[in-house]
Structure 1
Amino acid sequence: MAADLGDRVASVRKRRGLTQRELAELSDVSLSLVKKIEQGERYTIRLETLRKLAVALRVRTSMLQGDEHDAEHADPQTEDLWAPVRRALAGVKDTGPGDEPVSSAGVQAAIDEIRPLLGTHEYRAIARRLPSIMRDADSLDGEDGRTIRTRLFGMIGHLLVQNRQFDIAEQTLQRAIDDATDPREAAAVANSLAWAMLRQGRIAEAESFAVTWADRVEPRFSRATTGELACWGRLWLYAANASIRDNVESRADDALALARAAAHRIGREVLTDTHTVRAYGPISVAHNTAETYVLTGRPDKALAIAQATPAPTLQPNGAGRLRHRLDVASAHAQLDQGTAAVGVMSEIHTVAPEWLAQQRYARDILGSIVAGRRSLTSEMRELADAIRLEY
């Protein structure tokens, strides 16, 4: 409840010997908002605002957060798009003929045909094709069937996270982990589950989950495969991401160092997941480092990394790469370079409109720019409509 959050903030503030005005000044949060929080008037509060308060109060963000999380769930358009997939996950069969023979090779081929669409974020096309593939995958027996279902349901869970349907996404990802016959396949899906927790603002849970899985699959560097290193390193990236949001920079630094070691050992960007098109390597770690600078209010350092890092040639429009471009836009916005920020987001919209519409981060960035302007350019108005920015 909001009152519980307000009580926690007020209690720590008093222990630190601060007035409400002093907390507002230290945290760069408005005095009126601090008062509303402490009075329990707001039922939700953004994670980035909580982090600012946590930094000023010298506590972990999750300590203030309690059990209250900051998730933006799917809008009606997105819910409608994925309704057939949700029905299929619930066991409701589609009306297709279903009388053709089903083989492991055939189902795997159908999954392989969809994977490129993940890289181009064509969610409408994917959602149309998934129910029949799910029906066929459910009919497969034996170890091959379990392996295929791990990959398929890992993919579906990943897509549902991307499209902000978190509860069903987590159930689907857990199903994929339970079906896994290979530890690395399970750990790859666990990466998606850690990401789902992060997107909902469950930062302490996400960090603990990622570290537990990283410990479980820690590779022996002298003989580890590229896939093992990439899976392990990505888990540490999620741990770092959670830690920095939880105002524990030392742990974030340690996690990034481990992720960087894995990337250095690989030496290049690679695609290893069988259920996504995520890349991992030195560029991925550099992009994540830039994100930590954006989160901690050091946009100049984030832009310096962006300018110095080679442009990725492997999945240049993959979700991780596009997320980095949003970090660049956010850094520009923090530096009052609104035109540059809007330009970056417009570029993203050109290559991945369906992806951008699912990004609350994009709405936050553009919303902050719009709030500071008397009038909007045509580019800003078009982008606001495209990303479904509320009035």
Structure 2
Amino acid sequence: MSVASLGERIQAVRKRRGLTQRDLATLSGVSLGLVRKLEQGEREDTRLETLRKLATALRVPTTELVVRPDADDAPQETLDQWAPVRAALVGKAGPEPEEAPTASGVALAAQNAMPLFAQDAFTELGLLLPALIRDADALGKQGRQIRSRVLHLTGWLLTQTRQFDAAEMALQRALDDSADRLDTAATVNTWCWLLIRQGKLEKTLNLSAQWADETEPRMSRATLAELSAWGWLLLRHSTASVRNSEPGEADDALSLAGAAATRMGREFAPPADFLRTFGPVTVAMKRAENAMIEDHPDVVLSLSEQIPSEGLLPTSNNRNRHRLDVAKANVKLRRRSEAFEILQEIRNASPQWIVNQRMARDIMGNIVAKRRTLTPEMREMADFLRLEF
């Protein structure tokens, strides 16, 4: 594998295409100054979104330009908060329980914790999970199914908070314990999301394609759970494809996911597992996400008008992420007041979620940069999102 730097890769492909730096800047929408800094090695890395724009202009997959994953590490404050969870994952002993855990007791504790996961109650979960993980581990072979579920949820949560190495450990352990085909597919779906957040697009594409093939149901008699599992893997494949500058592949996967959603006829939202929520609305929101990645803010806003504003849980899996796309589209169209209102809406619904979203900080950063003066509410939001000036 080539060890060329990012700048060397961009420059080599640009010259093969017969483009000047200015040509590349114009075609990609990336500033000429940034193109020059990247090629001259003054910037050793950049956002995955920027790489996708450059790759599209150069007519190569994004992965041809990637040198290292575009993945923020969690801030020290987050690492400190989740240290007990990571310790439990690697088997470090905690307080001795008063009595030995039982499979039914651990299952009930996990079930009672589900509302906290669905509400992104990170503080409460950080306190609850260490004991839950240790109790699930103590069950041995008889606790495989519930342990797999607890570890899957833990991996999902650690991905949310950008603790990627720990998330990978939790998801790998969840897969090792999984004995149910649909449970395994759901865990793979979360793993694909982890890989996307790390910028590992090729691995995402291979994994999602493999598992979509393995889980594809017979449409005439498929259950809602089977359609949900298959549909989500297709959505991950579509998301990775559009980020990898493969719009045709992205559209094909999205169309298949849409067929699964149409077959369902409604949103499937199992009360005991919000991670498997899937249906026509979910597909519509992912279609808007793809449009935002391709820098079509007008399409995002048009699609958002067709998505119900009521009756959807404000979870990070669906509505909150979509609302961030809508906020970003508004910023692109210079409707910054509307974008700020959406940030406030998300904060009111899921304050512990939005503070972990770099996309929210980017949107707020644009609002701050383009306004002469900030309202008190804007200054407070910038502080809340830990915006760096």
TM-score, structure 2 length as denominator? Answer: 0.96
Change (3 A) 1:274 1:194: farther
1:235 aligns with 2:236: no
Identity over the aligned pairs, expressed in percent?
A: 47
Does the alignment pair 1:30 with 2:31? yes
- Structure-1 residue corresponding to 2:333: 335
User: 1:68-118: CA deviations, max 9, x gaps?
Assistant: 1100111111111111101111111211x4132421111000001111011
Q: Give 2:90's aligned residue.
A: 90
- What does residue 279 of structure 1 align with? 277
Q: CA deviation at 1:179?
A: 0.6
Q: Secondary structure at the match of 1:13?
A: helix
Partner of 1:55: 56
> Cα RMSD over matched residues?
1.7
CA contact 1:2–1:41 (8 Å) conserved in 2: no
Q: Deviations over 1:107-150 (max 9, x none)?
A: 000001111011211111011011111121112143x4100111
Q: 1:293 to 1:286 in 2, by over 3 A?
A: same
2:105 maps to 106
Distance (Å, rounded) in 1 between the aligned partners of 2:253 and 2:298:
22
1:135 aligns with 2:129: no
1:178 paired with 2:179, answer no
Closer/same/farther in 2, CA of residues 262 and 308 from structure 1, 3 Å limit: same
| CA apart distance, 1:258 | 0.9
**Code of the aligned partner of 2:385:** I
**Is the CA contact 1:2–1:37 (under 8 Å) kept in the aligned structure 2?**
no
C-alpha contact 1:151 1:275 (8 A) present in aligned 2: no
Check whether the contact 2:14–2:20 (CA below 8 A) recurs between aligned residues: yes
- Give yes or no for contact 2:186–2:276 (8 Å, CA) kept in 1: no
Q: Verify the 8 A CA contact 1:3 1:38 in the aligned structure 2.
A: no
The Cα offsets for residues 322-357 of structure 1, whole Å up to 9 and x where unpaired, read as 000000000100101111101101110111110001
Q: Please give the residue correspondences for 1:1-391 in structure 2 after superposition, counting only pairs within 5 Å.
A: 4-65=5-66, 67-95=67-95, 97-142=96-141, 144-272=142-270, 276-311=274-309, 313-391=311-389
- Structure 1 runs (4+) deviating above 6 angstroms are none
Cα distance change on mapping 1:127 and 1:285 into 2, 3 Å: same
> 1:303 offset after TM fit, Å?
0.7
Normalising by structure 1, what TM-score?
Answer: 0.95
Does the C-alpha gap of structure 1 residues 187 and 312 become closer, same or farther in structure 2, counting only changes over 3 Å?
farther
Structure 2 CA distance, aligned partners of 1:163 and 1:124?
A: 11
**Contact 2:119/2:350 (8 A) holds in 1:** yes
Q: Which moved more, 1:345-354 or 1:204-213?
A: 204-213
**Distance in 2 between the 1:135 and 1:384 partners?**
38
